Amino acid sequence: MPTKTTRIIAALVLTALLGACGGTQAGNTPPPSIPGSGQPGQAAPYTMTGTVKNAAGQPIAGAEVWADNTLYYDMNALGTTDAQGRYTIALPRNQPGTWRAGGHVKTKYANEWYELSLVPDTNAAFATDQGAVRNFTLRISGERPGGGEYGGKLYPYFGEAGGDFDMDQVEFTLTPTGPLIDGSVGSVITRHRDDTMVRDIPIGKYVVTARYVPTGGPVRPMVLMGRNESAYAPSTTITFRESPSYGLFADLTVSLAP
């Protein structure tokens, strides 16, 4: 992730003046051009341009995007997306090396600030005089290239009371309380843990319930207690927090209901 030092190259951000429907209509002013810029979706020399959207195709405003020079450490050209999720970054003509695209978005959700990585449509480097189109997607679940997931993890722990049970046969149901962190509509998730956690939960705020469904045995209700709670209840509400060791995660304790 780039550091804003004196070596950072000033970026020129294209401001779009389009109607609410997102298209150019009679009476609307098209976006201003910059030297060397091409049509949307076309690469132009000395320019990196593109869009940032969520997985549902909705534009994301205010995302920070950069072209990272592959030859020099900490040399970047920066840009920010407009209301339509579009950006344009002017690249310096006098710097050697090629460039790779990166980006992130900072957003406040459920009273917490999150910094989420953006996924470019390609990691290929490009030359300054060729320019490139790099479109980004904000992914809040799914597999990461090279391992891991974009979603959050839920770690369930055994409570001090409530009898013996097999955590692998506990069924967790997560119901979103509203839109997810990217503004998309979530869905109810019902899963068992995988190894020590419930994996790859789309980042959001959820009400969690659980029941014990042992093979060949009766289904039993369970009670839960969140990290900052002092008593068990039939449900608890979770959001995800970030840790250098665990990434985005939540945790709770589980016991059989009395």
Question: Which residue type occupies 4?
Answer: K
Average pLDDT over residues 235-258: 94
pLDDT over 80 at 18, yes or no: no
For residue 160, the model assigns a pLDDT of 79
Specify the DSSP class assigned to residue 231. S
- What is the C-alpha to C-alpha distance for residues 91 and 93, in angstroms, rounded to an integer? 6
Three-class HEC string of 186-223: CCCEEECCECCEEEEECCCCEEEEEEECCCCCCCEEEE
User: What pLDDT digit, counting tens, does each position of 167-219 carry?
Assistant: 999 999 999 999 999 999 999 999 999 999 999 999 999 999 999 999 999 99
Same fold, 1-138 and 152-256: yes
Domain 1-138 has CATH 3.90.380.10: no
Domain borders along the chain are: 1-138, 152-256
Share of the chain residues as helix, strand and coil, in percent rounded to the nearest 5? 0, 45, 55
User: What pLDDT digit, counting tens, does each position of 59-68 carry?
Assistant: 999 999 999 9
> Would you state the CATH architecture of domain 152-256?
Sandwich (2.60)
Three-state DSSP at 133 gives: strand
Which helix (H) or strand (E) segment holds residue 138: the answer is strand 136-138
Query: What is the band of 96 on the pLDDT scale with cuts at 50, 70, 90?
Result: confident
